[in-house]
Amino acid sequence: MNSNVTKFRGGSSPYGRVRGVILSPLGWQRFQAAKGQAEAKETWGKHLTQEELSDRTGLSLNTLARIFKRELGIDRQSLEYLFRAFGLELTKTDFASPITPLDALSMQRANPQQDWDNAADVSVFYGRETELAQLWQWIISEQCRVVGLLGIGGIGKSTIAIKAALQMQAEFEMVVWRSLCNAPPLDELLTSILKFFMPIQGEDPVIPTTLNEKFSKLMQYLRSHRCLLILDNVEILLHSEQVGQWRLGYEDYGQLLRTIGETPHKSCLLLTSREKPREIALMSDEDGVVRSLLLSGLTPDDGRAIFRKKGAFTGSEAEWNTLINYYGGNPLALKLVASATLDLFNGSIAEVLTYLDRGISIFEDIRDLLGRQFDRLPNNEQRAMFWQAIHREPVSIAEIRENVVDLVCQQSVPNLINSLLRRSLLEKTDKLFFLQPVVMEFVTERFIQQVCREFETSQIDFLRTHALLRVQAKDYVRETQLRLIVQPVIERLLSRFGSVSAIEARARQLLMQRQKSGYVAGNLINLLVQLQVDLCGSNFSGLVVQQADLRQVNLAGVNFQNADLSKSIFSETLGIAISIDISPDGQIVAVGDSNGLVYLWHITTTQLLATFEGHTGWVWSIAFSPDGKTLASCSSDASVRLWDVQSSQCLRIFTGHIGCVWSVSFSPNGQRLASGGDDQTVRVWNLQGQCLHILQGHTKNVYSVHFSPDNQTLASGSKDTSIRLWDVVNGNCLGVLQGHTDGVRCVRYSPDGQLLASGSHDRSIRLWSGQLHKGDRQSKPHVKVLHGHTNWVWSIAFSPNGDILASGSDDGTLRFWNLQDEQCINVISGDTNEVFAIAISGDGQLLASATQDQTVRLWNLQSGQSLKTLRGYNSGIRSLSLSPNGQMFASGSQDEAIHLWHLQVDNNLPPRPYKTFYKATNWASSVSFSPDGQTLATNGQDRLSISVWDVQTGHLNQWSSGHTEPVKAVLFNPKGQTLASSSYDRTVRLWDVQTHKCLWVLRGHESGVWPIAFDPSGQRLASGSFDHTIRLWDLQTGECLRILQGHAGGLYAVVFDPSGQRLASGSFDHTIRLWDLQTGKCLRVLQGHTGGVWTLAISPDGQTLASGSNDQTIRLWNLQTGQCLQVLQEHTRWIASVVFSFDGQILLSGSHDRTIKLWDVTTGRCIKTLMADRLYEGMNIKGATGLTEAQKDTLKALGGIEH
* pLDDT tens track for 767-817: 999 665 444 454 567 899 999 998 899 999 999 999 999 999 988 899 999
Give the long-range contacts of residues 377-383, CB within 8 A, separation 24 or more: 377/423, 377/425, 380/409, 380/412, 380/416, 381/416, 381/419, 381/420, 383/409, 383/462, 383/465, 383/466
First to last CA, the chain: 97
Q: Distance (Å, rounded) from C-alpha 1153 to C-alpha 1194?
A: 14
Q: 33-85 pLDDT, tens per residue?
A: 888 888 878 877 777 877 888 888 888 877 877 787 666 678 888 888 888 88
The model's confidence at residue 365, banded by pLDDT at 50, 70 and 90, is low
**Above 50 in pLDDT, residue 424?**
yes
Alpha helices in 120-244 (DSSP H): 129-136, 157-168, 186-200, 211-224
- What pLDDT shows up at residue 831? 56
Question: What's the rounded mean pLDDT across residues 415-424?
Answer: 86
List C-alpha distances in Å: 937 to 254, 615, 940, 1083: 42, 34, 9, 33
- CATH code: domain 1-98 is 1.10.260
- Please tell me the predicted confidence (pLDDT) of residue 945: 83
The DSSP bridge partners found for residue 580 are: 591
Q: 152 phi and psi, to 5 degrees?
A: -65, 165
CATH architecture classification, 99-294: 3-Layer(aba) Sandwich (3.40)
Other beta carbons within 10 Å of 811 = 23
Q: Domain map of the chain by residue range?
A: 1-98, 99-294, 365-420+439-570, 577-871, 929-1170
Half-sphere exposure of 904 (CA within 13 A, CB side): 12
Q: How much is the average pLDDT of 823-848? A: 89
How far apart CA 657 and CA 674 sit, in angstroms, is 12
Distance CA 809, CA 791 (A): 6
Sign of CA dihedral 749, 752, 754, 755: negative
pLDDT at 101 > cutoff 60: no
Q: How confident is the model at residue 1 (pLDDT cuts 50, 70, 90)?
A: very low
Strands 227-232 and 268-273: parallel
Predicted local distance difference test score (pLDDT) of residue 333: 86
Q: How far apart are CA 1183 and CA 1199, in angstroms?
A: 16
Euclidean distance between CA atoms 881 and 893, whole angstroms: 12
Helix (DSSP H) and strand (DSSP E) numbers for the chain: 27, 68
DSSP secondary-structure letter at 1182?
Answer: T
- Amino acid (one-letter) located at 130: T
Q: Distance (Å, rounded) from C-alpha 1139 to C-alpha 931? A: 16
Mean pLDDT of 441-451: 94
Q: Which of the pair, 1 or 953, is modelled with greater confidence?
A: 953
pLDDT per residue as tens digits for the range 671-692? 999 999 999 999 999 999 999 9
Q: Nearest CA to 578 among 855, 860, 867, 894?
A: 855
Angle among Cα 523, 528, 534 to the nearest 5 degrees reads: 140
pLDDT for the residue numbered 17: 37
Thinking of the domain 929-1170, which architecture would CATH place it in?
7 Propeller (2.130)
Mean pLDDT of 604-617: 93
The letter for the amino acid at 1056 is F
Cα Rg, the chain, nearest whole Å: 35
- Per-residue pLDDT tens digits for 484-515: 999 999 999 999 999 999 999 999 999 988 77
Q: Which listed CATH number (2.130.10.10, 2.40.10.10, 2.70.240.10, 3.90.1300.10) goes with 577-871? A: 2.130.10.10
- Distance separating alpha carbons of residues 713 and 723, to the nearest angstrom: 12
Confidence band (pLDDT; 50, 70, 90) for 951? very high
pLDDT at 360: 53
Rounded Cα–Cα distance for residues 682 and 698 (Å):
9
What are 592-606's pLDDT values in tens digits? 998 899 999 999 999
pLDDT value at 870 more than 90: yes
Q: Is the pLDDT of residue 15 over 50?
A: no
Looking at per-residue pLDDT, the higher value among 119 and 293 belongs to 293
Q: What is the pLDDT of residue 243?
A: 81
Evaluate whether 961 touches 946 at the Cβ level (below 8 Å).
yes
Contacts of 505 (CB under 8 A, 6+ apart): none
**Enclosing H/E stretch for 1140:** strand 1135-1140
Mean pLDDT of the chain: 89
Topology agreement, domain 1-98 and domain 929-1170: no
β-pairing, 765-769 vs 114-115, is: unpaired
Q: What is the mean pLDDT of residues 90-110?
A: 59
Per the rule left: phi > 0, alpha: psi between -120 and 50, beta: everything else, 203 is: beta
Residue 109 has a pLDDT of 38
Q: What is the pLDDT of residue 57?
A: 87
- Give the CA distances from residue 317 to residues 96, 303, 321, in Å, rounded to whole numbers and listed in that order: 36, 12, 6
Strands 290-294 and 427-429: unpaired
For residue 303, CA distances in Å to 328, 329, 911 come to 10, 6, 77
pLDDT tens-digit map of 136-179 = 889 988 899 999 999 888 888 999 999 899 888 888 999 999 99
C-alpha pair distances (Å), 1203 with each of 1115, 1128, 1185? 38, 33, 15
Other CB atoms within 10 Å distance of the CB of residue 256:
22
Confidence of residue 940 (pLDDT cuts 50, 70, 90): low
Name the band, by pLDDT with cuts 50, 70 and 90, for residue 12: very low
For the stretch 316-344, pLDDT in tens is 999 899 888 888 888 888 888 888 888 88
pTM: 0.83
Of 963, 965, 961, 964, the closest CA to residue 947 belongs to 961
User: What H or E segment, with its residue span, contains residue 973?
Assistant: none
Q: What is the pLDDT of residue 111?
A: 66
Give the mean model confidence (pLDDT) for residues 405-411: 73
- State pLDDT tens for residues 565-580: 999 999 999 988 999 9
- Residue 92 binned pLDDT confidence (cut-offs 50, 70, 90): confident
CA dist., res. 401 & res. 1076, Å (int) = 72
Question: What pLDDT is stored for residue 758 in this prediction?
Answer: 98
- Residue range 379-407: mean pLDDT, rounded: 87
Ramachandran class of 1038: left when φ > 0, alpha when ψ lies in -120 to 50, beta otherwise: left
> How confident is the model over 955-976, as a mean pLDDT?
88
